[in-house]
């Protein structure tokens, strides 16, 4: 890969620019809140961040770890942005999803948000976007907390903006705010304990020191607090209660972006702390992987899928499915092996592709026919065959039908489980996939088989700005389902980076 993907001056400062440029642009949008202009700025910022992400992926491929010190203060005392092959993938995901949802945003936001609010709405989005990038890029535990809060504050505002469609968005957002704040507080308490035990906040430095403290109770408590805190943000079952409402009442654009990035970034933080900062070989971490993470993952996979079957709102159904999918990813982590983590990361990437496509298709239905409940989807297969086909492909990917990304990641997950001899985990994956068939079938049958109700008017056609990102995601679902190498490669490198960093440093 070409190392100088961007001009050298930009490339040298790529880590910090990916965070600061969107944040700066958010401030510009607050000063000049004009909807059209704001959308242009959002698109430009996300494209810029995507280029930065490509650059970082290229750099980490070439040199392993990229370290950037802020303010010229050398780590561990100064704040360090530390990028390896694990977080460069996450930044790539955030950038790509940011661009696609920004394209999707123009018609969707124009439909859902009143003109006077659009500028500030986009500003909140950029705050969230830069915060997520910051979480993914920073190598400082406290700095990570700050970025986590920056992204969450943006998210609460974004979710609450759904109130122009449905006032329940306000309670959903408030619930999310309370639970997200509890999660962030737990995380910062954990970081405080770590600081108490190790005297440093730099994650690589903590990792170096913690290895020599087996059985230290303070470190163990720190681990527990951080796991619960970030687990809340990642919607790890049973800490997922904020997620279904937040996803189902937020504006469509926000749901698309959050479902594909926010929980993924929190999940990245879990990987980073479990396998990199803490010592996965230590008895305590090992036991929590086997006896806490794995059972909860399997419970989430099955119970959340079962709950999804009984939903009446399409986005709520997919939200419960997201909780189940987090279970798959956590199951990969719970195995505690390199292939397990790799399968988890692979599912993280693939799940972003399928949920992005599915939520965009639902956004297209809402845009064109104003329907959100599954029972109102009757006859949409005939009315909007293109979007319905896209939704169907995404749904098949969600189940894990061969030649889709869903199959690839489940295949690797099953392989990783078998390598551990965890046949019951395989059974759980299969059972949860069967449940997925049921809840997906409910939507598909209404959409394709039931006749359209009398007198339903199409509000307006689905614009290209929705169709293009939708079909890019659907195409990615199939392309990476057939040519899995690229994604598997990224995931393997990420897992290696997560597991080896602790041994190598």
Partner 1 sequence: MTMSPHVILRVVSKVLIPFIVVFGFYVHFHGEYSPGGGFQAGVILASAVILYALIFGVDAARRAVPPAVVRVGFALGAMLYAGVGFATLLLGGDFLDYDVLHPDLSHHTGQHMGIILIEIGVLVTVTCVMIAIFYAFAGRTPEISEEDW
| Distance of closest approach, residue 485 Cβ to partner 1, in angstroms | 36
- Beta carbons of 126 and 45 less than 8 angstroms apart: yes
**Does residue 430 touch partner 1 according to CB under 8 A?**
no
How crowded is residue 312: how many other Cβ atoms within 10 Å of its Cβ?
A: 12
CB-wise, 28 or 401, nearer to partner 1?
28
Using only C-alpha atoms, what is the Rg of the chain? 21
Q: Which two tokens stand for residue 425?
A: 């985990």
Residue 440, classified by CB atoms within 10 Å of its CB into exposed (0-12), middle (13-18) or buried (19+), is buried
CB of 49 to partner 1, least distance (A): 15
Judged by CB, which is closer to partner 1: 22, or 190?
Answer: 22
23 near partner 1 (CB under 8 A):
yes
Shortest Å, Cβ 41 to partner 1? 13
Stretch that binds partner 1, among 28-36, 56-64, 208-216, 473-481 (CB under 8 A): 28-36
Of 28 and 445, which CB lies nearer to partner 1 in the complex structure? 28
Query: DSSP label at 505?
Result: -
Q: Taking CA 348 as the corner, what is the angle to CA 79 and CA 340, rounded to the nearest 5 degrees?
A: 95
Minimum distance from CB of 280 to partner 1 (Å)?
33
The DSSP string of 230-289 is HHHHHT-TTS-TTHHHHHHHS-HHHHHHHHHHHHHHHHHHHHIIIIIIS-TTSHHHHHHI
| Cis amide linkage into residue 421, ω under 30° from 0 | no
Does 8 engage in binding with partner 1 (CB under 8 A)? no
CB hemisphere CA count around 157 (13 angstroms) = 18
Q: Does 77 bind partner 1 (CB under 8 A)?
A: no
Based on the shown chain and the rule CB under 8 A, indicate whether residue 27 belongs to the binding site for partner 1. Answer: yes
Residue 468 sits at φ, ψ, to 5 deg, of -65, -55
In the bound complex, what is the minimum distance in angstroms from residue 195's beta carbon to partner 1? 21
Q: Which member of 39, 51, 54, 68 binds partner 1 (CB under 8 A)? A: 68
Q: Which of 20, 209, 241, 338 lies at the binding interface for partner 1 (CB under 8 A)?
A: 20
d(CA 15, CA 270): 21
CA 441 to chain CA mean position, Å: 25
- For residue 212, the minimal CB distance to partner 1 (Å) is 31
* CB of residue 16 to partner 1, shortest distance in Å: 4
Q: Which of 69, 181, 216, 420 binds partner 1 (CB under 8 A)?
A: 69
In this complex, which beta carbon is closest to partner 1, that of residue 22 or of residue 344?
A: 22
Q: Which is nearer to partner 1, 164 or 312 (CB)?
A: 164
What is the CB-side half-sphere exposure of residue 444 using CA atoms within 13 A?
17
Q: Does 170 bind partner 1 (CB under 8 A)?
A: no
11, 70, 221, 401: which one contacts partner 1 (CB under 8 A)? Answer: 70
By CB under 8 A, the count of residues binding partner 1 is: 17
Burial (Cβ within 10 Å: 0-12, 13-18, ≥19) of residue 486: exposed
- What dihedral angle (degrees, nearest 10) is formed by the CA atoms of 487, 239, 133, 479? 20
Return the residues of window 29-48 that contact partner 1 according to CB under 8 A: 29-31, 33
Binding site for partner 1 (CB under 8 A): 13, 16, 20, 23-24, 26-31, 33, 68-72
């Amino acid at each position: 890969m070409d190392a100088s993907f961007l001009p050298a001056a930009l490339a040298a400062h790529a880590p910090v620019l990916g965070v600061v440029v969107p944040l700066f642009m958010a401030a510009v949008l607050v000063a000049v809140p004009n909807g059209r202009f704001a959308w242009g700025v959002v698109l430009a910022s996300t494209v810029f961040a995507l280029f930065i992400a490509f650059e970082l992926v290229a750099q980490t491929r070439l040199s392993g770890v990229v370290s950037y010190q802020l303010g010229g203060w050398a780590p561990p005392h100064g704040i360090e942005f530390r990028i390896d092959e694990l977080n460069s993938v996450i930044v790539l995901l955030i950038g790509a999803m940011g661009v696609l949802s920004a394209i999707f945003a123009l018609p969707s936001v124009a439909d859902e948000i009143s003109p006077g609010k659009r500028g500030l709405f986009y500003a909140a989005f950029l705050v969230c976007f830069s915060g997520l990038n910051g979480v993914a890029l920073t190598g400082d535990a406290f700095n990570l907390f700050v970025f986590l809060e920056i992204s969450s504050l943006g998210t609460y505002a974004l979710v609450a903006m759904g109130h122009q469609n449905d006032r329940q968005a306000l309670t959903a957002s408030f619930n999310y705010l309370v639970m997200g704040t509890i999660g962030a507080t737990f995380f910062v308490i954990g970081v405080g304990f770590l600081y108490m035990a190790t005297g440093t906040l730099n994650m690589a430095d903590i990792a170096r020191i913690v290895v020599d403290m087996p059985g230290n109770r303070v470190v163990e408590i720190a681990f527990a607090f951080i796991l619960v805190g970030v687990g809340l943000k990642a919607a790890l079952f049973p800490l997922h209660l904020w997620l279904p409402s937040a996803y189902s009442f937020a504006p469509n654009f926000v749901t698309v972006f959050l479902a594909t990035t926010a929980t993924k970034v929190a999940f990245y933080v879990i990987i980073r702390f479990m396998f990199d900062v803490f010592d996965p070989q230590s008895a305590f971490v090992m036991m929590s992987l086997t006896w806490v993470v794995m059972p909860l993952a399997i419970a989430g996979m099955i119970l959340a899928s079962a709950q999804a079957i009984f939903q009446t709102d399409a986005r709520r159904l997919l939200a419960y499915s997201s909780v189940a999918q987090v279970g798959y990813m956590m199951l990969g982590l719970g195995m505690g092996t390199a292939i397990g983590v790799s399968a988890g990361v692979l599912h993280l990437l693939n799940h972003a592709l399928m949920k992005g496509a599915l939520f965009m298709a639902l956004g297209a239905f809402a845009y064109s026919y104003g329907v959100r409940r599954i029972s109102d989807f009757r006859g949409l297969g005939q009315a909007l065959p293109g979007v319905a086909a896209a939704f169907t492909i995404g749904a098949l990917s969600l189940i894990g039908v061969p030649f889709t990304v869903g199959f690839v990641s489940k295949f690797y997950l099953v392989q990783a489980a078998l390598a551990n001899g965890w046949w019951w985990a395989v059974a759980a994956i299969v059972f949860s996939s069967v449940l997925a068939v049921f809840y997906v079938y409910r939507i598909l049958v209404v959409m394709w088989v039931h006749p359209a109700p009398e007198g339903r008017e199409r509000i307006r056609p689905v614009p290209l700005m929705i169709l293009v990102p939708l079909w890019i995601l659907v195409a990615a679902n199939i392309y990476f389902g057939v040519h899995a190498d690229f994604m598997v490669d990224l995931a393997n490198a990420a897992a290696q980076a997560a597991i080896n960093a602790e041994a190598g440093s």
